[in-house]
Structure 1
Amino acid sequence: MVDTDRITGAARELGGKAQSTLGDLAGDRRAQVEGRFREAQGHAEQVAGEARDALRDAADTAIDYAEDAYEHGRQAARHGARTVTHYVEETPLLALLVAGAVGYGLALLVHGRR
Structure 2
Amino acid sequence: MVQTDRITGVARQLGGRLRRVAGEAGHEAASRAEDVYDEARHLGARALGDARGRAVDFADDAYETGHALYGRGLNALSRQAGSHPLAVIVAAGLAGAAVAWFLCSSPNRR
Q: TM-score, normalised by structure 2?
A: 0.72
- From 19, 35, 54, give the equivalent of 1:61: 54
1:104 Cα deviation from its structure 2 partner: 1.0
- From 90, 94, 98, give the equivalent of 1:105: 98
- Tell me, in whole angstroms, the C-alpha distance in 2 between the residues paired with 1:72 and 1:112: 40
User: How many residues of Structure 1 are paired with residues of Structure 2 in the alignment?
Assistant: 88
- From 37, 58, 66, give the equivalent of 2:30: 37
Identical counterparts, % of pairs: 24
- Tell me, in whole angstroms, the C-alpha distance in 2 between the residues paired with 1:74 and 1:35: 58
1:31 Cα deviation from its structure 2 partner: 2.2
| Structure 1: gaps of 5 or more residues | 1-26
| Equivalence for 1:75 | 68
- Tell me, in whole angstroms, the C-alpha distance in 1 between the residues paired with 2:103 and 2:64: 34
| Structure 2: gaps of 5 or more residues | 1-19
- From 41, 44, 49, give the equivalent of 1:51: 44
| Equivalence for 1:28 | 21
1:28 Cα deviation from its structure 2 partner: 3.2
Q: TM-score, normalised by structure 1?
A: 0.70
Q: Deviations over 1:13-70 (max 9, x none)?
A: xxxxxxxxxxxxxx63322211111110010110111111111111111111111111
1:101 Cα deviation from its structure 2 partner: 0.6
Name the SS of the counterpart of 1:28 in structure 2: helix
